[in-house]
Amino acid sequence: MTTSADPTPLAPGAPRSGTTFLGLPTAPRGVGHLRGTQSFPDAARTSLRDGQLRANLGRATTTIRGKRAAVVAEVPHWEQLRQAGKALKAATMARLDEHLEELERQVTARGGTVHWARDAAEANRIVTELVRATGSDEVVKVKSMATQEIGLNEALEAAGIEAVETDLAELIVQLGEDSPSHILVPAIHKNRSEIREIFRRTIPGVDPGLTDEPRQLAMAARTHLRERFLRARVAVSGANFAVAETGTLAVVESEGNGRMCLTLPQTLVTVMGIEKVVPRWEDLGVFLQLLPRSSTGERMNPYTSLWAGVTPGDGPQDFHLVLLDNGRTAVLADEVGREALHCIRCSACLNVCPVYERAGGHAYGSVYPGPIGAVLSPQLTGVEDNASLPYASSLCGACYDVCPVAIDIPSILVHLRAEHVEAQPRPTAEAVAFRGLSRVMSNPRLWHLAQRAAGLGRFLARGRPTLPAALPPPASAWTRTRDLPTPPGRSFVQQWTEEHRR
């Protein structure tokens, strides 16, 4: 199967240009908002100094974790649901090309138009030309990770088109000229007082007496957006799922802004990663149970919008679906790493990750932060373009425990670390050190000498349980961010020998 970036409607079965085949490692890598300007350790070092950020994250993630745990505990067959979701995703990826072609046929048969985009640049060009064709200079947007990934707002702005975020958290980020730091709650790093100040500063005509009470903040945003909803002629959305056999798209949300965007405008453009397809209508039943409990801690989403193509006289009369690759084909070619494509963007892994809770989402440099971002972003861009992210983890395994489709994120992290090490043109200092350690540990004489030498560590520790962080180079690179326990007074071998001499 090939992909095409031609924004012109294609007739079913028409030949397409392009040479990007699903599952080939030579496929183009992803571009867009997937890389940071700093490595993760450098960016995290900055965010760790922000006490307010850490407090905001700690409160929010603790609340979300508690809500999720409560509603998951209500489902006696939760583990079976997880395994069903995992199996469905694996089976879908194995025949992804067939399901995508079936989705195209069904959407086209129902009056929609399907476009194929190899990367972010082509997707942005397609959407921009579609909006220009309507004569509109404004679009309203439903929260969408795919459009954040490709930098659509910036592309539209460069073309003289204003993109208005209608999700409350996305609106806060946009008005504050900030960037999202969480998959589900983009403004998780802001507290209510900070949000109030953003609204006072940026929303025309807002009540100067606006408080930080949640209802007042929501009403201010609603008043600001209402006029935009009513006058908008074009909407842009993402999609949580797409059903191949019926051509149905699904968006789940909690505020109702999505429903407004999906029904009021004349033209609707949906940008969707190719991994979001599911084969059958009945498959939705599994994911619509897993997603709300894992994301917002709800039994079901308040708004679940489903549509297929165009319905005369009801909703948008011009529907376009943009299927985005942007590195996903290359991920699919990796037998271990492809499991990252199973992600349903619930963000449960972020909420339990001790690294994310302390460093925050911006430290990852990608629109996909947290554990799933640490395995997905490097694969989309190529590991060497995001080499620090697979190391942004303690490998504690909490992310795997809560993932609703049982993605083995720790194993993928280790796999990507190995890829990075093997890609180095010469051995790293760490590799040389471990090679030397291997030799010492495999030679009893050297090992006993090393144990005696370790006694110097007790001298440096001066009675403390750990060695000082300010060890001289190159050891300082290790102890700067890790506690190195003080060597014991007696080694295990010495204790064993003394015990068995009695």
Structure-token pair, residue 304: 């679940």
Residue 454, pLDDT score: 79
Q: How is domain 77-326 classified at the CATH fold level?
A: Rossmann fold (3.40.50)
pTM (two decimals): 0.88
Predicted pLDDT at 470: 65
The H-assigned helical ranges of 210-327 are 214-231, 257-263, 284-295
* Residue indicated by tokens 């992600």: 343
Mean pLDDT by 10 residues, the chain (502 residues): 39 37 63 92 93 93 96 97 98 96 97 96 97 97 96 97 96 95 94 95 93 95 94 97 98 94 97 98 97 95 95 95 96 96 97 96 96 97 95 96 98 96 84 88 90 78 77 74 81 84 72
Predicted pLDDT at 108: 97
**pLDDT score of 9:** 37
Q: What is the per-residue pLDDT for 8?
A: 37
3-state secondary structure of 52: helix
Are residues 299 and 293 in contact, defined by beta-carbon separation less than 8 angstroms? yes
Cβ neighbours for 350, distance < 8 A, ≥ 6 positions apart: 61, 182, 183, 184, 356, 361, 369, 370, 371, 372
Burial grade of 319 (CB within 10 A; 0-12, 13-18, 19 or more): buried
Residue 502 confidence (pLDDT): 66
Structural domain spans, the chain: 77-326, 351-423, 429-500
- Whole-number pLDDT of residue 129: 98
Bridge-based pairing of strands 267-273 and 318-324 is parallel
Query: Dihedral of CA 134/136/140/144: which sign?
Result: positive
Q: Cβ neighbours of residue 473 under 8 Å, at least 6 residues apart? A: none
Question: What's the pLDDT at 6?
Answer: 41
- DSSP conformational letter for 139: E
What's residue 17's pLDDT?
Answer: 35
Residue with tokens 């999505």: 258
pLDDT at 25: 56
